[in-house]
Structure 1
């Protein structure tokens, strides 16, 4: 375990960090909760600056951290609130592009070390893509260290101008256990019945209904599955701007797909599934992919971003934007129980190579100590 430095730039007896979170996707929010808990256990004082909704869901205060409500906005009032929260911090750690940009604004004129974690690549098109590149450049040049959750993100940070970019693959936090979750044989039939998947294969996809998720490709692929007997049911858990258009296509084309909106029981949905699907145009360290492998659910995903590095040979990888390749991979797996069993076993072994929550906290803390230890006089 990495020791906490007893020194700090402000002469405090213990390190004080501020974790900055924006709207926060599931992966980064769960990571900040896990990180806060691990840091507090090591004697670090932690303040989490995030929207109040995020604290309700992830309970940062329950992890022993202080919580300061900072809206997901870069307006002057939000930046001022963040600046006040960071006033006596030894180090600030921001998660995601927008949170990092607000942290840069809040720390302007101060010498407080800034650590930035990129959990994923910001998705944008057209003029907004240009703005995202400008924000990335501003953030990485101001950051003392940029941590990327995949090699692809580390390379991107270096190309953008980061002076110090490192790989820091974050752990998937352990789910909170329940009696039913500990008894999947009891829960599985119940979930499948509720979804309408009794007596037919259940395919699960999870994620916001946005263009980069590739759900248009998934719907294209689902046409081919109507020829199977029984016809698989595709269930997509998530909400977003494309919902109306996707629902219209499902109804007009008679596709075997259900949109069930945002859910807080994704682990249970996944445990009930025969296959997990991830058709995105980009992924770094996908929470769904990690949960699928941990849960022994065969995964079909696109060969993009950090996916090959994350899953190795423990999943079926297909090219992005190719509905025929996606459809064929699913048909092959549904008809090959031996291959499904192989992927389940490989998934468990692959998951065992990922860092634990304790190892993740120790690595981050070593970066903090490096940046806050007093420099020797020369």
Structure 2
């Protein structure tokens, strides 16, 4: 167990370097780039989601990341992001934003990954937060350098890292499986209802086998004979969440509030609370389809436990169509909205009822929709099970983390 009275300054075992600022001329290919938008609650970046820039004439050799580096958000309009960290766990040719600070461990008595895990604790957060404040406006190298790290032997550090990484490895594996399941479900859906190669009465792909297609004047394309069209607004019901600051819990019982942050990262210790006596339509259960329509556009099947839906998010339901149908139709059309916004070089601020009413989609026969839904249900069920397993793993890991770091729990 570590002596709680001792510790060592981060600045004594690491060097720090701010990132570079890049302009429009830097856009292009050549080098991976980690910006503030890449910082999430996990340990490492999502490497396959990193963008690229052209580093020519801007970056020096010292600016590139190395395996074992730790990145921190030093400045952002969202104060909750300031101080968040990412660990570079593999060799990549990458640069990082000027709104970030890089820490590089130079001592052979400290594991860089151990230090990275410590930066995920509430203790670290308290050490970089100014006294009397709950938020960090800006993080600088001096503040990071003064952080006191717990002192364990290198062997003890490795045991702690190995224990925590067992959780992260399983979480990452589940995430990869779920990404494949999501991709598989969408591929099947698109094959049936976008490419129109659903099985015909002889089990052959309809369009590829010469199934009759007719031109639809509204959709401006050919669709299978007998199919129709309608709006996104008409295929489902959209319940907008409530302003939960008006519905605080009066007693001990409460529901956790689902905002856009919870949609992307799940619940946290900073998640707000609401009364359980709200409109039942605003209560979200696992399996509900959520659609954030303001600022951040996203559609997902909720899997993080019962909660209270905040404003700017729709809970999407339908009495006529199964979930898989309106979920994928929304997902497909949301991509269309984002592409339009990108072409116009603007940000789609929000989606209104008018947008949904003007968005036309193809309507297959209900029997075919229900037939496909039955095929997709096992995929969605497995996806949900893995999401719930990850939630339990994250809770257990986060419960163990501070106790391992303060020596309250030891690894044999």
Q: Where on the TM-score scale, by shorter chain, does this alignment land: which range?
A: under 0.3
Larger radius of gyration between Structure 1 and Structure 2: 2
Q: Between Structure 1 and Structure 2, which shows a larger proportion of helix residues?
A: 1
TM-score, reference length from structure 1: 0.27
